[in-house]
Structure 1
Amino acid sequence: MKPARVAVVLKGYPRLSETFIAQELLALERRGLPLEIWSLRRPTDRARHPMHTQIQAPVAYLPEYLRDAPLRVLAGLVAALRRPRFPALLTLFARDFRRDPTASRIRRLGQALVLARELPADVAHLHVHFLHTPASVARYAALLTGRGWSFSAHAKDIWTTPDWDLREKLTDAVWGVTCTRDGLARLDHLAPGRTLLAYHGLDLSRFPAPPATRAPRDGSDPAAPLRLLCVGRLVAKKGHDDLIDAVAALPASLHWRLDLIGNGETRRALEAQVEARGLSARVSFRGSLAQPDVIAAMREADLFVLPTKPAPGGDRDGLPNVLMEAASQALPILATGFAGTPEFLTDGVHGVLVPPGEPAALAAALERLAGEPALRRRFGEAARARLVQDFSEEAAIDLIAGRLRASAGLGAAASASEQELSACAS
């Protein structure tokens, strides 16, 4: 008999911006977890991280739009009609639809019907990343098939999903984790004790040692400008517009260059902002890059800048993995003291944190750090030490692997890691 498997439900796979998910999948496989991946969307990124080629789990794609695969949806519906739990699913869906009467809600039901029909019999448990739409699909499919489901909550899903939806999913799931104390506080407010803290951490074996030295550039030499780097999707919550305003406010005597790695919905607006500020010769939009290229850019940079802030719709970051990646290269960090970032970096110890949404404060910090290469070096070394000591991926992966094993009937949970992480959350 084949061993039981765990189906991991994702919104899209693979995605360059979700290195934390790829890292987790690879680590779980290396611990012997038999996985398969079910994605609500097909990939849109042209490149892939090396981790994606190392992950062995088979990948299946649900119909992103029901009209694109009517026969799969119809087959899912016919199969569902024969299941004894179908009336319970209809009751749950009707209750959800009354509060969220959208096409998206109908689409999630259709995807769940397809998933329920096409899941292999040896799949014993569903685990979903993100508590918004992917969790709706996983929850409906789990109810229909009589399986349990669990979740990993991250950022946007925590802060933009309605309270009623979060509360009911938290109560319904067998267990769940989230990656910041900031997010944990919101989830515990809605459903106390249903979620554990599990920082993503970083698998340092995948990264080179930091550069032995960095040039002490201070922006005084036009032939050797200060090299600034920002990595993140071009979306409102990353604060790129504040960064552009900040560099525009730097004194003319300070020579600098800024590389922006990432793509997204705000790119055209940001390009227009750069042009309007007369910064086109200094700011480079490099698009989405695979992780080795991102790390290479970090090794060449003098300062990493990530000014995250709340987006207009309430979206916000968790603890951005790029901060830990920058720390892996002892690259000094200037960020905002917002969301999960202060859980990793202490202002004045591991880097510099400024208030979110304040370009003037960001500009002042940039100017100060530009003129103090030795201070930048100390911050970079301190951030790396913090990463190595407190943000290894081991504890979180041990917890998640143990929970998945128990849920799929593959073995006992990793109680020691769970107790350790629970203590951290309290």
Structure 2
Amino acid sequence: MAGQKPRLLVLASTFPAHASDGTPAFVRDLAEREAARFDVMVVVPRVPGAPERERLGALEIRRYGYFPRRWEDLADGAIIENLREKRSRWLQVLPFFVAQFIATRRAARDWRPDVAHVHWIIPQGVVARLALSRTPALLTTLGGDLYALNARPLRALKSSVVRWARAVTVMNAEMRERVIELGAAPDAVQVLPMGADLSAVQAVPAVEAEPDRTRILFVGRLVEKKGLEVLLDALRELGSGPTVSLTVVGDGPLRASLESRALGLDVTFAGQLGRAELVRRYAACDLAVFPSVLAASGDKDGLPVALLEAMAAGCAIVASDVPGINEAVEDGVNGVLVPPGDTGRLTETLDALVDDPALRQRLGAAARETAEQYSADAVGAKYGELLTTVASVRPS
């Protein structure tokens, strides 16, 4: 065993190729904190621009190929949304499962982990259930795999995985109830959201407000559940007054249709940004809006890491009143909550905040204080403690 630490195997399907590629980094951020207690190996799918093996600080990273490189893009972004966007990607699904199974078995043989941290019920939980049957595992679901994928065979598969895991973490109380409904033991399921790396966000001072312009920021993947179309419609209904501009950070299958919907508005689609540039966008905004909605598939947000980062930056927050978000944002205290999909209420809220810089400042200051409890360091310590407990429970 390297050093004197127990060994942790992390399985995920979203992981940055490099620090500035714009891919959500919550799995990497958490694994780096878990390395305080464990020697950590991370097994993830191959993505363009990333080496198949590398040492990243305290983390050993292994990436596996699963399809000919020319067409291999199932895991480049969000798998479920990639499948919806392009049906031919279903040809990659079976090879993906097989390649992940082989890579996981190989890592288990070489690494001999004491415990595994498995992100997402499907696909990683299914693979781990087969490939790591005798390794104690913590399963983390972030929402998409739990809220969507509810055909009867898939629900049975999810039930098998959550019953197998020694512990399950979820992003909010509603998700906990859903996991228990799938058959997990209530005392095995904890609400423990992903943490955000707040140090970089908080290190950049806010850019001074412009007296005749209100700068709004949206950060998220351009998919249905993020609700950007609701925000665009609300901006179109805003009354006359100070100029309002919107910067959209993120990419996804709905980008072209959303750009068309934004015609005539002061909207900049910045695409997917690296962390350093994203931090600058937080510092330069007056309002950060997270207009999450329930997607037709049943998918919805748990607790977006981007929302926590915006809070840490001291942005005034406007967000949908949905489980998870409403556990971090208290209406009128550290942000404003609006009914999901309600364009009229969102317009009224934006109108009021555009006209009241003092209120924006008060909400942003309170949001910054709230964000501390969601820091990657604080959350990572809790995950480390939980993994230590899980590692001590050997499967029968």
Candidates 188, 199, 206, aligned match of 2:193: 199
Q: Does 1:271 align with 2:259?
A: yes
Q: Does 1:174 align with 2:194?
A: no
1:396 corresponds in structure 2 to: 379
Query: How many corresponding residue pairs?
Result: 357
- What is the distance in 1 between the residues matched to 2:95 and 2:204? 49
The amino acid of 1:229's aligned partner reads L
1:126 corresponds in structure 2 to: 116
Write the mapping of 1:317-356 to structure 2, written as runs, cut at 5 A.
317-356=301-340
- What is the distance in 1 between the residues matched to 2:240 and 2:49? 37
Write the mapping of 1:81-230 to structure 2, written as runs, cut at 5 A.
104=93, 107-119=96-108, 120-143=110-133, 146-162=134-150, 163-190=155-182, 191-193=184-186, 194-209=188-203, 211=205, 214-215=208-209, 217=211, 224-230=212-218
Asked whether the 8 Å contact 2:207–2:283 carries over to 1, the reply is no
Q: Does 1:302 align with 2:286?
A: yes
- TM-score, with length taken from structure 1: 0.76
Displacement of 1:14 after TM fit?
1.5
CA deviations 1:303-327 (Å, max 9, x no partner) are 1111011111111111111121111
Displacement of 1:44 after TM fit?
5.1
- What is the distance in 1 between the residues matched to 2:57 and 2:171? 22
2:42 corresponds in structure 1 to: 37
The amino acid of 2:193's aligned partner reads Y
CA deviations 1:312-356 (Å, max 9, x no partner) are 111111111112111112110111111311000111111111111
Asked whether the 8 Å contact 1:5–1:408 carries over to 2, the reply is no
Cα gap change, 1:103 to 1:215, in 2 (>3 Å): closer
Alignment RMSD, CA only? 2.7
Displacement of 1:381 after TM fit?
1.0
- What is the distance in 1 between the residues matched to 2:156 and 2:112? 32
- TM-score, with length taken from structure 2: 0.82
Q: Which runs of 4+ in 1 moved over 6 A?
A: none
Stretches of structure 1 that go unaligned for 5 or more consecutive residues are 47-51, 69-100, 218-223, 411-426
User: What SS is found at the alignment partner of 1:400?
Assistant: helix
User: What SS is found at the alignment partner of 1:272?
Assistant: helix
1:90 corresponds in structure 2 to: none
Identity in percent: 27
Asked whether the 8 Å contact 2:316–2:361 carries over to 1, the reply is yes
Higher mean alpha-carbon deviation, 355-364 vs 251-260, is at 251-260
User: What SS is found at the alignment partner of 1:208?
Assistant: helix
User: What SS is found at the alignment partner of 2:270?
Assistant: strand
Write the mapping of 1:237-248 to structure 2, written as runs, cut at 5 A.
237-248=225-236
User: What SS is found at the alignment partner of 1:339?
Assistant: coil
Asked whether the 8 Å contact 1:62–1:115 carries over to 2, the reply is no
Displacement of 1:22 after TM fit?
2.1
- What is the distance in 2 between the residues matched to 1:314 and 1:55? 38
Displacement of 1:185 after TM fit?
2.1
Displacement of 1:360 after TM fit?
1.7
User: What SS is found at the alignment partner of 1:207?
Assistant: helix
Displacement of 1:403 after TM fit?
3.1
Displacement of 1:370 after TM fit?
0.4
User: What SS is found at the alignment partner of 2:298?
Assistant: coil
Stretches of structure 2 that go unaligned for 5 or more consecutive residues are 70-89
Candidates 64, 67, 76, aligned match of 2:66: 64
